[in-house]
Structure 1
Amino acid sequence: MPVPLPFPGVQIQEIPAGVRAIVGGSTSVTAFVGRALRGPKEVATRCFSFDDFARKFGGLWADSPMTYAVYHYFQNGGTEAVIVRLAPGANRSSADLATGASPNLTLEAASEGAWGSNLRVTVTDPAAGSFLPAEATQVFTLTVREVDPAAPSDTSRDRATETFINVSVSSSSPRYVKRVLEQQSSLVRVKTDATQRPTNVANAPFSSVGDGSALAATDYDNPGDLSFQSSRRGIYALDAIDTVNLLCLPPPARTVPQFTGVWTAAASYCDKRFTMLLVDPPASWTTAAAAAARTGLTSLTSKNAAFYFPLLVMPDPLAAGRPASFAPCGAVAGVIARTDGERGLWKAPAGQDAGLRGVDGFSVSLSDPGARLALTDAQCGALNPAGVNALRPLGVAGSVVWGARTAQGADVLASEWKYLSVRRLALHIEQSLKEGTRWAVFEPNDAPLWSQLRLSIGAFMHQLFRRGAFKGARSQEAYFVKCDAETTTPADQDRGIVNVIVGFAPLKPAEFVILQFQQITRAIA
């Protein structure tokens, strides 16, 4: 039945295009799991710079290799990090403020750790005339300071100061102290409520607590605890984040390499998350030969993992710039992020342009930065076919990443996922298409839906092709998208299944550039 027009003249009607745009997701969001001075415990938290990390997690800590890895990540070009703080056995400092009634108002540090022992709280009278007489026993002004223990005793230098004017112990007040601190304070929370305001006090100290125990393998993954994964503990705290492209698990302590079982669990987790695991060299890799044999990690052959060797020697800002050995995962993740931004993730994150910033040399010992190793061409030639990515000095180019293979990159495995850039491009496509085609769920499973899927996915793949992600001079040579009655049979339709086949021709890195020379001699007359 025709729809009557409202008035004579030109009428405008918008017709849907039928193509739903698929936006490519991020490519270098990097997750770090380990100890930190402060911050939320086992809660995945985004940081966009090292200053941002320092505000939320306390910055560099000599006992935490993770904090250095995050520093190296942003130093080398990283842009977005996701932090999971592990703090087994750590408690929160608290301060019990005396009141005229029981219970007393008790404040506690916003997060676990010894940092809370540096907090001081001051309670003063409220501003005159700012409250009704009936509120006189409820309103007060609260000031919280985080003192700098390194500052001289005759100075008043503080790391942070927060003042909350005219807060109240009454839950009906718009300035209810518990709610105000939850919303506005980065230092303290209310642990125990009170019915009357606390008495005036100046610089009352918080209790002294420690930073908890050293990390164990079960702090990352605990197969014996059936609720460990479902409650999002350890590495599984990352389940709260939609996209994590790279995962770094720095050593649990300065001289203790990462646990072998943790690498295995993390690789299995990454296989399910479109994530690449950057594996640091274990303690057994004391020579290039041991690294080429993948001693201690021979069973780790995940296509979503990549080995790097050796350790980095870099200045330690907390030790007057003296050299120390560090796991390479953070710096390598920064190089990958930088390469993605400058060239695209289809460019192998290796070569002369993949410089490692701030690196003074290389070592094979976490405890001894003097155990130096500068890989030679011959040693790199042994590592490459074994699927181990070399880190090496390269003359005036400085220290560089000189390998771009996955853990399946060993020649003997003959894997289609040999190269890191190819695998990461596939993960990017898979994740982008998964997120960008959710609209198709519960749509009528017939030719119009198949056509829309072909158009949407084809447009996404063509965009990648135009940016140089695929091999081939023409789009027909670079990729294909098939979704029709051949891929989705009547039996599939009865089961509610739509099958889409997507293929692409990846660009593979030129690992071996062969120059052939021929001397031309003058012919004899």
Structure 2
Amino acid sequence: MALTLSHPGVYIQEVPSGVRTIAGVSTSVAAFLGAAPRGPVNKAVRIFSFSDYERAFGGLSDDSELGYAVRQFFMNGGTDAWVVRVVKEASPAQRTLRSATAVDVLTVTALDPGVSGNSIQVRVDHATAVPSSTFNIQFIRASDGRAESYTNVSMNAKDARYLLGLTQGVSQLVKLERPLSQGALDALPAGTSVSGTLGDVQTLLDATHTDFRVAVNGLDPVGVSIALPADISGGTPTQRLTSLSAAIQAKVRAQATGRPALANFTAARNGNTIVLTSGTGGESASVRVLPGARNNAAGVLLLGSLAGGIETDGAAIIRPAPTPDSATLTSDAFGATDLDALPDATHTSLRITLDGLGPDLVGLGDAVAAGGSPAAKLEDVAARLQAAVRALRPGTPAYRDFTARAQGSNLVLASGTRGQGSTIAVAAAPANDLAGSLHLLAGAVASPPPVDAVLEGGTETAYGPDDVYAAFIGNRAQRQGLYALEDADLFNLLCLPAITHSGVLADAVSYCEERRAFMIVDAPPTAVDPATMVAVATGTALPKSDHAAVYYPWMHVSDPLKNGKPRLAPPCGTVAGLYARIDGNRGVWKAPAGTDANLTGVVSLAATLTDGENGSLNPLGVNCLRTFPVYGAVSWGARTLRGADQLTSEYKYVPVRRLALYLEESLYRGTQWVVFEPNDEPLWAQIRLNIGAFMNTLFRQGAFQGSSPREAYLVKCDRETTTQDDINRGVVNILVGFAPLKPAEFVVISIQQLAGQIQA
């Protein structure tokens, strides 16, 4: 931009240099397609190690070559890959969780289609900071032990801890849906906050305990300041509690400003408690009591979950019920006088076994059950029994979370664990037995063995020989099969392990030509000898493209699933890793063959070739894998599928084609800035400068033939390449030429005897 010169002095301006550095793209990002034990279907997933593959796709599987190919890729030097899982058809596993009122409230669906989702276990409990309204949920995949836990969550969509909001786009195991209509949500009850049991509020409240705040239905909290003694008037504790409740209601409503949740808010006495109720119902209905900024009274009034109150949201009734079940033991019914004199000195103990641990002797002492009614006495015995059992093994969940409760005229004992393995048993104590008197022996009923709550219904059908084309060459618009790689920004090498279907190979190579990538083709497994491979190479089974290369024969690799026993595997993954290693060590212009192109992890080759057999395949463009003394298994060929001598292709060799692809992709990405620039000599000069700098860097790295840049490459962009007619049509033409290095495929050494010379 031109400077505005207004006063005498020195002005500074920055002038662009025109240098736009072109960065070379990666040359060895591999893409793999095939069957896997689990993982997303028809979705490209990027991985950087075999551990990533194991986490995303389940690792090796005896009936799939994909895992072995990916493993060999990383073993041989690969560092970056995309993987697409392919199946014929698959459906995800599901489970619908129900509330305590038997209403379907949460549908859990496995993220990955197929049978792997059937191993995902769901666990729900209500042991939260607000146990009357929130819950904890956990998803555990049994196949690899991966677990996700979401604690203190709510089914209220406006809550910050709304479960579906927390899991969406985050969970790697499941996706969740709430199968409830808006009408059902609107019909949910009002939220409540119930205080603990209170004494006389006249003794609880004073000048330093007068304030608290109330948040209703997620609205901003409103302050409540109790005026003493006016707000607790009355001659009895009951009257004073009633007066206080009315004052709280009036103070909250006074701040409603047209908001129904506050305008219809109620506060009422219920026995010796205060019940605060939101003015409207629905999924967002809630009442939260918060401490006052000063002179906090919430604690002394036992209001709020932190102070011992019970806060129940409207959405609490649509949270999932605890699952799976705990093992329980329900006593026979107690009579009205059964606990009048128990426990006593001769009835103090019982033995209990939880989850196979024990039996442990439990002592309740000899104090008679406290309480003025049979129900109160039963509750006292339950509380004493629960405390005694929990104290036995506080570090063991079955004991630590053990519960004993009165249910009508029965005593219900429950193990602290849930699901499979949760058990409970009670036996008589060797002395001073109390179990029989508590009706926990004869007449007691044990629950059926609990089972884990797992997702169900996941199915998948693997592709067979007749399904290969449809599975791998799917619908491009829906990005299925090979076209799932549309989501991959860049890949250079394509591997379809063990796929030799001619139609699939033809379409895959065509896609590679479109994406400026190179395909590594496996020889057919039926080519068990060189003669058969010659027939394959001279036929129509393989695409005659310079964007692909075929390797023969297959190889044996160690199989971790069978204690290292050799397994026959296709070579594409190993060769792709070799490409990556050579690219990193020597450059993409170096042929991935020779004595330094050793194949890591290869135990042996399926066929041991002689020089003559190699000589029958090499002129046809078949790259042979050989075994040599000292060097072991190596790649001994570097021709494309247009590398047959009779085709006389200029892209006969793999490194020449891959170098050209590297240049094309790098220049395509590095010259995007040219679009819409003024099409004249200044632009052409910048283009020559930037592309020339890029090519010169490659020349100095040894990528081209020639002893000088003039011999090695050419960059031309001027009036000769871009005519006035081109300019009028908005076209700029850039000519980039390079002198590729060809591999020394045949080394000829001539040896001659020197005849004796007679000196004159």
TM-score of the superposition, structure 1-length normalised?
Answer: 0.89
Corresponding position of 1:266: 508
Corresponding residue to 2:161 among 172, 175, 178: 175
> Which one-letter code corresponds to 1:206 in the other structure?
L
2:314 is equivalent to residue 200 of structure 1: no
Please, which moves more after superposition, 177-186 or 510-519? 177-186
Superposition map of 1:147-296 within 5 A: 147-148=142-143, 159-194=145-180, 196-202=318-324, 203-215=452-464, 216=467, 217-222=469-474, 228-251=475-498, 257-293=499-535, 294=537, 296=539
Give distance in 2, aligned partners of 1:300 and 1:192: 51
Partner deviation per Cα, 1:116-147 (whole Å, 9 max, x = no partner):
11111110014234x8xxxx44x210112122
Give distance in 2, aligned partners of 1:472 and 1:271: 29
Corresponding residue to 2:581 among 338, 348, 364: 338
2:462 is equivalent to residue 461 of structure 1: no
> Which one-letter code corresponds to 1:474 in the other structure?
S
Partner deviation per Cα, 1:450-490 (whole Å, 9 max, x = no partner):
11111111111111111110011100010010111111111
Confirm or deny: 8 A CA contact 1:169 1:193 kept in the other structure. no
Which secondary structure does the structure 2 equivalent of 1:32 belong to? strand
Corresponding position of 1:304: 547
Corresponding position of 2:54: 54
Please, which moves more after superposition, 204-213 or 449-458? 204-213
Corresponding position of 1:366: none
Structure 1 residue 446: deviation in Å? 1.3
> Which one-letter code corresponds to 1:273 in the other structure?
R
Which secondary structure does the structure 2 equivalent of 1:24 belong to? coil
Confirm or deny: 8 A CA contact 1:90 1:112 kept in the other structure. yes
Which secondary structure does the structure 2 equivalent of 1:261 belong to? helix
Corresponding position of 1:430: 664
> Which one-letter code corresponds to 1:385 in the other structure?
P
Structure 1 residue 420: deviation in Å? 0.2
Corresponding position of 1:4: 5
Change (3 A) 1:7 1:201: farther
Confirm or deny: 8 A CA contact 2:93 2:458 kept in the other structure. yes
Give distance in 2, aligned partners of 1:285 and 1:495: 54
Change (3 A) 1:146 1:485: same
Give distance in 1, aligned partners of 2:513 and 2:755: 58
Q: How many residue pairs are counted as aligned between the two chains? A: 490
Give distance in 2, aligned partners of 1:442 and 1:420: 36
Partner deviation per Cα, 1:299-329 (whole Å, 9 max, x = no partner):
6111101011010111211122221211110
Which secondary structure does the structure 1 equivalent of 2:461 belong to? coil
Which secondary structure does the structure 2 equivalent of 1:233 belong to? coil
Confirm or deny: 8 A CA contact 2:96 2:104 kept in the other structure. no
Structure 1 residue 520: deviation in Å? 2.9
Give distance in 2, aligned partners of 1:278 and 1:347: 17
Corresponding residue to 1:448 among 673, 682, 703: 682
Give distance in 2, aligned partners of 1:29 and 1:386: 28
Structure 1 residue 415: deviation in Å? 0.5
Corresponding residue to 1:140 among 115, 135, 140: 135
Give distance in 1, aligned partners of 2:600 and 2:581: 11
Give distance in 2, aligned partners of 1:419 and 1:352: 18
Partner deviation per Cα, 1:31-77 (whole Å, 9 max, x = no partner):
00111122221111110000011111111111211111111111111
Which secondary structure does the structure 1 equivalent of 2:135 belong to? strand
Change (3 A) 1:101 1:493: farther
Corresponding position of 1:369: none
Report percent identity of matched pairs.
46
Please, which moves more after superposition, 292-301 or 470-479? 292-301
> Which one-letter code corresponds to 2:578 in the other structure?
V
Corresponding position of 2:76: 76
User: What runs of 5+ residues in structure 1 fail to find an aligned partner?
Assistant: 149-157, 223-227, 252-256, 364-372
Give distance in 2, aligned partners of 1:25 and 1:124: 51
Structure 1 residue 168: deviation in Å? 1.5
Structure 1 residue 104: deviation in Å? 2.7
Give distance in 1, aligned partners of 2:646 and 2:485: 34
Please, which moves more after superposition, 310-319 or 284-293? 284-293
Change (3 A) 1:325 1:5: farther
Structure 1 residue 163: deviation in Å? 1.4
Confirm or deny: 8 A CA contact 1:284 1:295 kept in the other structure. no
Give distance in 2, aligned partners of 1:418 and 1:127: 68
Which secondary structure does the structure 1 equivalent of 2:549 belong to? strand
Corresponding position of 1:152: none
Structure 1 residue 378: deviation in Å? 1.3
Confirm or deny: 8 A CA contact 1:87 1:112 kept in the other structure. no
Structure 1 residue 445: deviation in Å? 1.4
TM-score of the superposition, structure 2-length normalised?
Answer: 0.62
Corresponding position of 1:515: 749
Corresponding position of 2:125: 124
Corresponding position of 1:40: 40
Corresponding position of 1:395: 629
Change (3 A) 1:126 1:8: farther
Which secondary structure does the structure 1 equivalent of 2:575 belong to? helix
Change (3 A) 1:276 1:362: same
Corresponding position of 1:225: none
> Which one-letter code corresponds to 1:103 in the other structure?
D
Give distance in 1, aligned partners of 2:717 and 2:747: 39
Which secondary structure does the structure 1 equivalent of 2:46 belong to? strand
Superposition CA RMSD, Å: 1.9
Give distance in 1, aligned partners of 2:3 and 2:694: 38
Superposition map of 1:497-512 within 5 A: 497-512=731-746
User: What runs of 5+ residues in structure 2 fail to find an aligned partner?
Assistant: 186-317, 325-451
Confirm or deny: 8 A CA contact 1:92 1:111 kept in the other structure. yes
Corresponding position of 1:368: none
Please, which moves more after superposition, 194-203 or 432-441? 194-203
Give distance in 2, aligned partners of 1:382 and 1:487: 45
Give distance in 1, aligned partners of 2:158 and 2:7: 55
Give distance in 2, aligned partners of 1:479 and 1:448: 22
Confirm or deny: 8 A CA contact 1:123 1:201 kept in the other structure. yes
Which secondary structure does the structure 2 equivalent of 1:204 belong to? coil
Which secondary structure does the structure 1 equivalent of 2:597 belong to? coil
Give distance in 1, aligned partners of 2:564 and 2:459: 27
Give distance in 2, aligned partners of 1:437 and 1:49: 32
Change (3 A) 1:207 1:447: same
Please, which moves more after superposition, 506-515 or 89-98? 89-98
Which has the higher Rg, Structure 1 or Structure 2? 2
> Which one-letter code corresponds to 2:323 in the other structure?
V
Corresponding position of 1:359: 602
Change (3 A) 1:274 1:324: same
Change (3 A) 1:400 1:7: farther
Structure 1 residue 193: deviation in Å? 4.0
Change (3 A) 1:464 1:2: closer
Structure 1 residue 14: deviation in Å? 2.1
Confirm or deny: 8 A CA contact 1:285 1:295 kept in the other structure. no
